[in-house]
Structure 1
Amino acid sequence: MAKLHRVDDRARGAFRARIKHFQKLGIVPSSPGRGKKISYEMEHVIIWAFCLELSQFGIDPTIIARFVRVLGYAIINIFENSSPSDDEKYFAFYPNIMSNWFYSEEVLLGTIKTDCFLASEISASEIAAEFGRRVALINLTRVKQELDAALGVAQG
């Protein structure tokens, strides 16, 4: 994960603290005890990668945990079922965190409206029409490629 996010050696302690905070929030399994190793599955690595991408936007880890509870399976599915020849897949969300409003519609997660789409399916003007004046994008295809490279997974 540190390699994927280009974490400098001087920032490793803060990076580890972020990972531990995600564990405490129940996003991924935490250590079974002092001195005992925990085995992580690829789905945990994918979730971590996604969470850390959201962290790059400065989103609070408790909100990120909500993202994962609602969207974790879909994100894992996108990662596991995409190949280098596929169109790029993007996760789009409308950050509206300061308003602290909570909506009940299915596409809204707390204060954040979300969607996932292929690059070939939507234009910039359609994104603007859907999300309004502000939208954040994560290129899930690029994250997967860089994660695979960091883990030494052969591209196929």
Structure 2
Amino acid sequence: MPSGARSDASAIENSFSALARTTLTHERVMIASGPAMTGLTTLLEEVRGPVDATTAERIGVLTAESWALQALLLRSTLRQLSGLEPGAASSVLKLAATEHQRAVTTIRLERLGTGGAVDGGAVTSYLSLPAMLIGGGTREIQLNVVAERILRLPRA
């Protein structure tokens, strides 16, 4: 292969890599801004009457996490509005949002008990978790992105 063709192929490969990376970062932000941001609201609407101290503490922690996630999401949105890419921070956002959604869904199902199987919303949320956890890259992939791009650790 002539050297000019090799450099053209390399340029195409680099362009494709950049496009794939950009697409995935936007997908991660979209995943984090979807169900992960509405699950807590649904849980709070379902809570009626007094709750035990443990449940109140768990809901308090989830509420604080939700506010932190909303701040990260706002930061990502402002970066995009400024013409910048979400970058590796989208991996942090996706990791935190999916873990948050998993915790919210778990509490919802625990509170609903066996009646939760009848309530389509809680079950649908639970059954949607695998797609949310895998979409945009698995937890392990996100941790690798964070390690390499944010922490600047060597590639394993």
TM interval, short-chain normalised: under 0.3
TM normalised by structure 1 equals 0.25
Whichever structure has more strand as a proportion of its residues is 1
- Structure number with greater CO (CA < 8 Å, separation at least 6) is 2
TM normalised by structure 2 equals 0.25
